[in-house]
Amino acid sequence: MENEQLFHCIIKGMPISKAFSAIDILFDYGYSSASCSDNGHDDWQVEIIHPSPIDIAEVRRVLGLDYSFQIQSEQMPEIDWLQRSFQNFKPITVGSFYIYGPHLRNHPAPIDKVGIEIAAATAFGTGTHATTNRCLTAIETYLDPYVHENFLDIGCGSCILSIAAAKLGMRNIVACDNQEEAIRVSKENAVINNVAHRIKIFQNKACEFSEKSYDFVVANILALPLISMKNDVLASLNPGGILVLSGFTVDDNSVEEAYSSLGLSLMHKYTHNEWVSLVYRK
């Protein structure tokens, strides 16, 4: 998108669950970029960026929105958006992890931190979102490379969680996502972080990950797909294995109810910025 003429659309006043579902729908429909941000409790906005004019009526139809939702669309000034995204992506620290963008590649990570280079690009997962943040914390807390022989990352996005596991010493890692762009970005990030030899990355259309079992499984996706694939996730987890689930809010107990009914033992429940991450043992 460098110096490309772009068009901008903002949808205001969306509930959090609808905002995140909208992002998936917009990507599937072909829009170049979609993101959401918090304007206050249960009041989120969705932003769309696209290289051609955005039809507001089409956006309403695609997302099933009535006229109670305020939508604005405009042509954006010509800006180097790649450079702007770099400037906006400041390095962050999550536990022992130091996450930075490619513009800081020549600035070494603090000596007591594990450096992970992730670009603010077209796949979810730079460590800034609460769900990714807590998953990183859970991985650092519960993952033991001397005990856990293999690791599964369902809905890997940018591959940040798999890269973190590899940096902690895991050698047998499988990462999957149903989005082709996520797979491309994940493979690129694995190479950049020098861990591509430790991570098998593939596009899954359904629950192909359940063909074998794992000692540590993390799934940072949305509530509905987590619930729909619960039996496959359970089948993929070895006895005594650790399962980390994330991608849902504090007011949604559906995932916890679904997985607790499987006989899993809840070890920890993280809450951060209205989001929940669950850690189970089988």
Q: Provide DSSP, 22-52.
A: HHHHHHHHT-SEEEEEESSTT-EEEEEEESS
Lowest mean pLDDT among 2-11, 60-69, 187-196: 2-11
Low-confidence winner among 36-40, 119-123, 140-144 (lowest mean pLDDT): 119-123
pLDDT of residue 192: 93
Domain ranges of the chain: 7-79, 125-281
pLDDT tens readout for residues 107-141 = 777 888 999 998 755 445 555 677 888 999 999 99
The pLDDT of residue 1: 42
Asked if 203 contacts 224 with a C-beta cutoff of 8 angstroms, the reply is no
Q: What is the reported pLDDT for 216?
A: 98
Beta carbons of 82 and 35 less than 8 angstroms apart: no
The pLDDT-based confidence of 84 (bands split at 50, 70, 90) is: low
Distance between CA atoms of 106 and 112, rounded to whole angstroms?
17
Average pLDDT (45-58) is 84
The reply to whether 125-281 shares the fold of 7-79 is no
Distances in whole angstroms, Cα of residue 184 to Cα of each of 32, 193, 201:
15, 15, 9
Q: Which CATH architecture has domain 7-79?
A: 2-Layer Sandwich (3.30)
Q: What is the CATH topology of the domain spanning 125-281?
A: Rossmann fold (3.40.50)
